[in-house]
Amino acid sequence: MLQSPDLIMTKAVGIIPARWGSTRFPGKPLHLIAGKALLWHVWENARRAKALHKVIIATDDMRIAEAAFGWGAEISLTSAKHASGTDRVAEVAAKLSGTSHILNIQGDEPLVEPSLLNRLVRHMHRDPQIEMITAVHSFADPADVQSPHQVKAVLDRENCALYFSRQSIPYPREASAPIRYFRHQGIYGYRRDLLLRFVRWRPTPLEKVEALEQLRALENGVKIHVVVSKSGSPGVDTPADAAAMERQLLARARRPRQAR
């Protein structure tokens, strides 16, 4: 039986969706952190992932486009009508006919690890049956398990997603029961043909209740493979987060000099 062209090709492209109008943090992509725009940090780390053929910034805002062009980034101007970053990524992916896989990289995680991006792509390349993949890690602070802003994931024995929730799941009926809670990282790998189908599906009941887009895939029968990493990259949602991230980046930059 002949394979489809998307399965024969093994070229992966990273796409970073970026918009200006964040409700809590307008202009967030170009907010300076340790002397560079937040989006610039993300783009630089994504570019270090050798498994990616290229990295594209997808935006509908000329301020973002012009700034990113100045860093040397490849830009794709998209519609301003998209309801989500996934829709924006899919618009770009639809034009990439020579690409088999798409990595949707969050534009507000400046510490995203190139090694994790490589792992996700390599998993997809090794197994053509993987249509969608994401990543999780154990919670560093147990108190974060109770936060509705931290998305929890429950996995099966083959490290595929059973469910995602803002609630602290699973619920331990007995206090002594050993539970490993996983924090979901907002990064997704798709086979290109699945992504283009995904954005045509209507939002589903569980997706609406939890406000978690990945549940649309589960409700439509898509198996989401999960890579478990040792740690995750914190997101920047508010100016306070940006200030904390700057302190972290500056501390990292000082460490090598102190070691010498």
Mean pLDDT, residues 129-142 taken together: 94
What is 5-259's CATH topology?
Spore Coat Polysaccharide Biosynthesis Protein SpsA; Chain A (3.90.550)
- What is the overall mean pLDDT for the chain? 91
Distance separating alpha carbons of residues 186 and 108, to the nearest angstrom: 10
Distance separating alpha carbons of residues 21 and 95, to the nearest angstrom: 25
Mean pLDDT, residues 161-181 taken together: 87
Of 187 and 1, which is predicted with more confidence?
A: 187
Write the single-letter amino acid at 15.
I
For the beta carbon of residue 171, count every other beta carbon within 10 angstroms.
8
Of 108 and 10, which is predicted with more confidence?
A: 108
Distance separating alpha carbons of residues 206 and 150, to the nearest angstrom: 17
**Cα Rg, the chain, nearest whole Å:** 18
**Contact, 38 vs 28, CB < 8 A?**
yes
Tell me the pTM. 0.91
Residue 7 — very low, low, confident or very high, per pLDDT cuts 50/70/90?
very low
For the beta carbon of residue 130, count every other beta carbon within 10 angstroms.
20
**No. of H helices and E strands in the chain?**
9, 11
Distance separating alpha carbons of residues 59 and 131, to the nearest angstrom: 25
User: Which contiguous run of DSSP H or E holds residue 164?
Assistant: strand 161-165
Residue 29 — very low, low, confident or very high, per pLDDT cuts 50/70/90?
very high
pLDDT tens by residue, 173-208: 877 667 889 999 989 999 999 999 999 999 999 999
Of 3 and 114, which is predicted with more confidence?
A: 114
**Contact, 15 vs 90, CB < 8 A?**
no
* Token reading at 7: 């399965």
Spell out the domain ranges in the chain: 5-259
